[in-house]
Amino acid sequence: MNAMFRRRTVLGAGVGTLAAPTLARSQAATVNLTVWSWVPRLNQQTEMFERANPNVRVQVVNAGQSLAQHMRLRNALRAGTGAPDLAHLEYFMLPSFQLANALVDLAPHGAAALRDQYVGWTWDQVSDGGRVWAMPGDSGPLGLIYRGDVFGRAGIEPPRTWAEFGEAALRFRRANPDAFLTNLAFASGNWVNALFWQAGSRPFEVDGTNIRIAVNDAPARRVCEFWQPLIAAGAVDTKPIFTTEWYASLDAGRYASWISAAWGPLFLSQFVRQSAGQWRVSAIPQWTPGGRVSGNWGGSTLAVIRQTRFPREAAALAMFLSNNRESANLFIRDQFLFPVLNDLLSSEEFASQPSAFYGNQAINRVFIESARQVDTGYRWSPFQDYVNTQMGNELGAAASGGGSLVAALDRLQDNLVRYARSQGFTVRT
């Protein structure tokens, strides 16, 4: 999910500052930078940068949420004018803009020296060898949000494996014919990608315009084959998420859990108020007993766009917003984004913060562990927005209409191979 969906955590202000680069104060000319971002109140952080760099002025523009902004940015790049100096981009969009030669390499401006300060998988997502195409901003490691009261009445413990989850779903449905253990979001390509990611899928390998496509690989098929009999048995629901009916079903206990991410807890608390205090969070179930593997759903980066006239200053701003401790604290405290800095994820204050909506559980601990377990090998395609749309269309229709998820996955594979070739890629499967 996108960075606009927030997470309630609080850190004190009395901690030190990380060594994010700032500019020398000797420059006299004023530099004006524009940032496209959907993050609310980002001006709080940009004003910090301005105070540290009096010759720089930063304008924050909300150019649309996620895909709407990406489209505007592509149009500006095609036109050769009108692009911002910096833009928030979701992780899955970086390869597309990188291939279009739209991003400034931040390594010559000092970004490479910050590598070890970030969760490893997030740095792998923004870098390519010695080049750094964006600064990690926030993330969405997976977890299971569930109704503690409903699970308790049903005698269900939070499942440790997907096999346990499937057994619990069948048992719960038999005992509660008007309710489901969960609702699946196969119509959301981003959600599907996160589950495939955790299962070990490797859908794409990209080298310039050469691409290997295997969205129907064995791990992805395993996910589909696991859920297919549960759908057929009516043990899980498949209605659209983020609708009035979906929120009401969660609030009433008709859906007893949500397979979600680190931004999910606060997002849910804004729409599901009658059941406040009854919710809990547990680790994402594993495919292998005793496993410690997660995937990611959501999060964003900050990239410098090649049209900028001020790459040095723009790079310094990107690094400051991502890496400066005071700025990072604000992202957690005021914008409720899940952090990607190792220093913050190691903070006991952050880990132990209780959440009243979740029965005063220290839910951050669950997602901190999940963040450290995200599989580092997942890669995106250079046309991932198209992939996500087609994935949601194919798998969503199969899940809700009684079709075969595996057959839908095979159709998706054929679709993407044709599309990639039509876009000039050399494809292998």
Q: Give 118-170 as a DSSP string.
A: B-HHHHHHHEETTEE--EE----BEEEEEEHHHHHHHT-PPPSBHHHHHHHHH
- Look at residue 323 and give its three-state secondary structure: helix
Listed in order, the ranges of the chain carrying CATH 3.40.190.10 are 31-139+297-353, 142-296+357-428
Q: What percentage of the chain reaches a pLDDT higher than 70?
A: 93
The whole-number average pLDDT for the span 295-312 is: 97
200: Cα within 13 Å, side-chain hemisphere: 10
Rounded distance, CA 34 to CA 29, Å?
16
Read off the tokens for 216: 């129907």
Read off the tokens for 245: 């009916």
Rounded distance, CA 107 to CA 130, Å?
7
428 phi, psi to nearest 5 deg: -125, 155
Q: What is the pLDDT of residue 22?
A: 55
**DSSP single-letter state for residue 291:** -
The whole-number average pLDDT for the span 360-385 is: 96
Query: What are the tens digits of pLDDT across the range 175-226?
Result: 999 999 999 999 999 999 999 999 999 999 999 999 999 999 999 999 999 9
Query: What are the tens digits of pLDDT across the range 140-173?
Result: 999 999 999 999 999 999 999 999 999 999 999 9
Other residues' Cβ atoms within 10 Å of the Cβ of residue 308? 18
Rounded distance, CA 346 to CA 202, Å?
29
Q: What is the pLDDT of residue 65?
A: 87
Are 313 and 31 contacting, i.e. CB atoms less than 8 angstroms apart?
yes
Q: How would residue 97 be classed by pLDDT, with cut points 50, 70 and 90?
A: very high
Q: Is the pLDDT of residue 1 over 90?
A: no
Sheet with strand 426-428: strands edge to edge = 204-207, 210-213, 426-428
Q: Is the pLDDT of residue 5 over 70?
A: no
Q: How would residue 21 be classed by pLDDT, with cut points 50, 70 and 90?
A: low
Q: What is the pLDDT of residue 336?
A: 85
Q: What is the pLDDT of residue 66?
A: 85
Pairing of strands 279-282, 142-147: antiparallel
Please, what is the angle between helix 189-199 and helix 384-401, to 10°?
Answer: 90
Q: How would residue 17 be classed by pLDDT, with cut points 50, 70 and 90?
A: very low
Alpha helices in 14-66 (DSSP H): 43-52
Supply the CATH classification number for the domain 142-296+357-428. Answer: 3.40.190.10
Q: pTM value?
A: 0.92
Q: Is the pLDDT of residue 3 over 80?
A: no
The whole-number average pLDDT for the span 16-28 is: 51
Nearest to 284 by CA among 260, 265, 263, 250: 260
Other residues' Cβ atoms within 10 Å of the Cβ of residue 7? 25
Query: What are the tens digits of pLDDT across the range 218-252?
Result: 999 999 999 999 999 999 999 999 999 999 999 99
Q: What is the pLDDT of residue 426?
A: 98
Those residues with Cβ within 8 angstroms of residue 306's Cβ, 6 or more apart along the chain or in another chain? 83, 101, 102, 103, 104
Nearest to 330 by CA among 40, 60, 96, 89: 40
Supply the CATH classification number for the domain 31-139+297-353. Answer: 3.40.190.10
Rounded distance, CA 237 to CA 250, Å?
12
Read off the tokens for 24: 């020398």
Distances (CA, A) of 239 to 222, 247, 249, 388: 22, 11, 11, 18
Q: What is the pLDDT of residue 27?
A: 55
